[in-house]
Amino acid sequence: ALISLRQLLDHAAEHGYGVPAFNINNMEQIQAIMQAAEDCASPVILQASAGARKYAGEPFLRHMVQASAETWPHIPICLHQDHGASPAICQQAIRSGFTSVMMDGSLLDDMKTPAGYDYNIRVTRQVVEQAHAVGVSVEGELGCLGSLETGRAGEEDGSGAAGVLSRDQLLTDPEQAADFVARTGVDALAIAIGTSHGAYKFSRRPDGEVLAIDRIRAIHDRIPDTHLVMHGSSSVPQEWLEVIRAHGGSIRETYGVPVEEIREGIRNGVRKVNIDTDIRLAMSGSLRRAMMTRPEEFDPRKFLAEAIRAARSLCRERFEAFGSAGQA
Ligand code: G3H
Ligand code: 13P
Ligand code: ZN
């Protein structure tokens, strides 16, 4: 059954666990995530970006998620809009049956200016009013996501277009978070605590703490009833990078957020953990390997079944590690 993010994360907070939010774009990803949720008896957050709706088409996405609820009726599913760039995009998602939307008003470059902050409050407040009227939850974002090591916001190619930022600019301020929540009424808040999007988060193997765990704790203490969201939570498994490199792919040396560090974040108040890149790596690595090792095969289902198996196993590991296994 589809439930709201508020319902799902209230349970997680009460029982002290975190829930991975996996990005979905196609049937294979959805089946992999749902099979893993079934394997682990875990509640699940399926999140779709505006790009995912564009890729699959809104009716396909909607019906595939409906098919999941039908196939696995006892698994609680939250269907969440990831990084809604405007109130209009959030409205489309609500109309399409999403039970949660993210209004990402931090996308403007000038978030650190009063004008950027006022804009964020205005659009987020507007989405909260519309969403809550129909029982849909809202996630907001405050701060500028970026790696504490590289000082860069994540970019798909690792170039870091946002430029190098200081530690203070990279962390969400607890007082501002309290003000933001009071003025918008969001159910969940994405915070900047040292993660960045994509595969290129850290250029050296993490040694010790890579996230600002003390900052997570400070924000959680200040807004205990707002569920904290960690974006950019892929761990970038080295095994998959090796499989990709060994089968014709080329990805330079890079590291993600260690799973143990995410667990520490969950112990300090993180409830929703966004993961997209890890599934991309597992699926493209397994596809490359299957296609290269079976040159005579041309039934795409044989290759795609490998990709589902790889993503399913990765999702299972995350459900177990974050403590949501057994909670459905
Ligand atoms: O945070 C962004 C997610 O990884 C979704 O990426 O916009 O390419 O679908 P996308
Ligand atoms: P990753 O790129 O680390 O998987 O993060 C995904 C994300 O935050 C989606 O909103
Ligand atoms: Zn994100």
Per-residue pLDDT reduced to its tens digit, 1-17 = 899 999 999 999 999 99
Cα–ligand 3 centroid distance for 198 (angstroms): 9
Q: What does the radius of gyration of the chain's CA atoms come to, in whole angstroms?
A: 19
Q: What torsion do the CA atoms of 212, 213, 218, 220 make, to the nearest 10 degrees?
A: 120
Task: Reply yes or no on whether 82 is catalytic.
Answer: yes
Evaluate: CB of 230 within 6 angstroms of ligand 1. Answer: no
Closest-lying ligand 1 atom to the alpha carbon of residue 49: 9
Per the CB < 8 A criterion, the answer to whether 268 and 213 are in contact is yes
Plot region of 56 (φ>0 → left; ψ -120 to 50 → alpha; else → beta) = alpha
Residue with tokens 């109309």: 95
Residue with the smallest CA separation from ligand 1 atom 8 is 51
pTM attached to this predicted model? 0.96
Per the CB < 8 A criterion, the answer to whether 236 and 255 are in contact is yes
Would you state the pLDDT for residue 9? 98
Binding residues for dihydroxyacetone phosphate: 198, 232-234, 274-277
| Sign of the dihedral defined by the CA atoms of residues 258, 210, 108, 178, in that order | positive
- Quick one: three-class SS letters along 239-288? HHHHHHHHCCCCCCCCECCCHHHHHHHHHCCEEEEEECHHHHHHHHHHHH
Evaluate: CB of 82 within 6 angstroms of ligand 2. Answer: yes
Give the residue among 49, 47, 52, 140 at the shortest CA–CA distance from 99.
Answer: 47
Q: Span 70-87, mean pLDDT?
A: 97
The predicted-structure confidence for 32-76, as pLDDT tens digits, reads as follows: 999 999 999 999 999 999 999 999 999 999 999 999 999 999 999
Spell out where the chain has E strands.
Answer: 19-23, 44-49, 77-84, 100-103, 137-142, 188-191, 227-230, 270-275
Q: What is the mean pLDDT of the chain?
A: 94
Structure tokens at 128: 């909260």
Spell out where 120-236 has E strands.
Answer: 137-142, 188-191, 227-230
ipTM of the complex: 0.98
pLDDT tier for residue 179 given thresholds of 50, 70 and 90:
very high
Length reported for the chain: 328
- Burial label for 53, CB within 10 Å (0-12, 13-18, 19+), is buried
Domains plus CATH for the chain?
5-322 (3.20.20.70)
- 8-state DSSP, 2: B
Q: First CA to last CA across the chain, in angstroms?
A: 11
Residue with tokens 């349970």: 11
Q: Span 218-243, mean pLDDT?
A: 98
Q: Is the pLDDT at 155 greater than 80, yes or no?
A: no
Residue with the smallest CA separation from ligand 1 atom 3 is 276
Q: Crossing angle of helices 114-132/174-184, nearest 10°?
A: 40
Phi, psi (degrees; rounded to nearest 5) at 37: -60, -40
Structure tokens at 170: 């990279």
